[in-house]
Amino acid sequence: MIYLWVALGGAIGASGRFFVTSWVTRMVGFGFPWGTVSVNVIGSFLMGAVISFMALKMNVSNEIRAFLTIGILGGFTTFSAFSLDFVTLVDRKEVLSALGYAAGSVSLSILAVFAGLYFVRTVLS
């Protein structure tokens, strides 16, 4: 049942991402990915707020927790999950691990995009 909650939340989050990025892009133009920056920042803020609220103020089921965090916010932006992982490492006083995680995740993900582009443009073309 938890998978259905995550799937439903993912659909809601992805739709929200499309709406926000489209709206922001219409407002400020296509020169810089402000829509993506917006959903990443909004999603990261919401992840922190939702996690804190659930931990401090509410007793929610695993299904609701997964629906909100993995589903909606994960569908809205996976950057929010990345940000939460980073903060969790810092909270555990694992600052070097957090910095390595951030640097590695960003640089390897960017390299992976280049690798995927190269693969499709050269191997599959």
pLDDT in tens, the chain (125 residues): 999 999 999 999 999 999 999 999 999 998 898 999 999 999 999 999 999 999 998 899 999 999 999 999 999 987 888 898 899 999 999 999 999 999 999 999 999 889 989 998 998 87
pLDDT for the residue numbered 81: 81
With helix as H, strand as E and coil as C, how does the chain read?
CHHHHHHHHHHHHHHHHHHHHHHHHHHHCCCCCHHHHHHHHHHHHHHHHHHHHHHHCCCCCHHHHHHHHHHHHHHHCHHHHHHHHHHHHHHCCCHHHHHHHHHHHHHHHHHHHHHHHHHHHHHCC
